[in-house]
Structure 1
Amino acid sequence: MLQLLEESRDELVAFRLAGSIDRHDYEVMLPILEEKIKQYGKIRVYAELQDAEEISLQALWEDLKFDFRHAGDFMKVALVGNRRWLDWLTVMASPFTTAKIKHFEVMEREQALEWVRRNDE
């Protein structure tokens, strides 16, 4: 399930993914990201992953296709959640983007938001 968070404003897209992530979640999220890219050129992404242990292959394919088209359109990506899951996502996403990607534990939510908004890194 995908939930857009109230922290989303300007070039920051903030969302929470919980439970099973499927193609429908990407069909909702990708147009939001594309609109922000059109509007701001480069964007920042804050993503909370809660119990997101299951991801469909079709959803992963949609994500990879999007990454190829928009490899240079991300400034920073903050991933918040389970360390094992985030380590995997960071490794998988890194070849497809020039963005700085950093993962944070759930208790570091505020630090993640601060980091993704900062212009100094």
Structure 2
Amino acid sequence: MTIKRHGLAIGLERTGEQFFLSLRVHGKLTHEDYQSLAPMLESAMEGIEDPEIDVFLDARELEGWQARAAWDDLKLGLKHGREFRKVAILGNQRWQQLAAKVGSWFIGGEARYFEEESEAMAWLESSP
């Protein structure tokens, strides 16, 4: 019997109008994952005129998205895309590198792919 591991760890920090969102994914992202993530993000940004969001996504154990979750991801990007300043995707697959390039088309800032966590964090902490 094979056990499929799934999980989404979410961390959200705020300093003034700037947010740091940390996501670690195991398995496939689900609609339920977005049902947890979206309200948390929207509640944290409530009342802030021009929020800026930096994201660290550890996708090394990400296996993809369920179809409905992919739709949720697109909706989240369309609604808040201009608020994303930097998105660092830590991965180990060619498709994740491509996802970072495509993701940049849908956000106001920049998305980059990294294979080393220290490089991803250094880029996120650097000035724009």
TM-score exceeds 0.5: yes
Specify every segment of 5 or more residues in structure 1 that has no aligned partner in the other structure, as ranges: none
Q: Partner of 1:96: helix, strand, or coil?
A: coil
Which residue matches 1:89? 99
**What does 1:68-107 align with in structure 2 at a 5 Å threshold?**
68-105=78-115
Which residue matches 2:42? 34
The Cα of 1:112 is off from its aligned counterpart by 0.7
Per the normalisation by structure 2, the TM-score is: 0.79
Contact 2:91–2:97 (8 Å) recurs in 1: no
Q: Which has the higher strand share?
A: 2
Separation of aligned partners in 1, 2:25 and 2:95: 12
Q: Partner of 1:86: helix, strand, or coil?
A: helix
The Cα of 1:92 is off from its aligned counterpart by 3.2
User: What stretches of structure 1 move > 3 A for 4+ residues in a row?
Assistant: 35-40
Counting matched residue pairs gives 116
- Structure whose alpha-carbon radius of gyration is higher: 2
Per the normalisation by structure 1, the TM-score is: 0.83
The Cα of 1:53 is off from its aligned counterpart by 1.7
Question: Which residue of 10, 20, 41 corresponds with 1:4?
Answer: 10
Specify every segment of 5 or more residues in structure 2 that has no aligned partner in the other structure, as ranges: 1-6
Matched-pair identity in %: 28
The Cα of 1:29 is off from its aligned counterpart by 1.6
Q: Which has the higher helix share?
A: 1
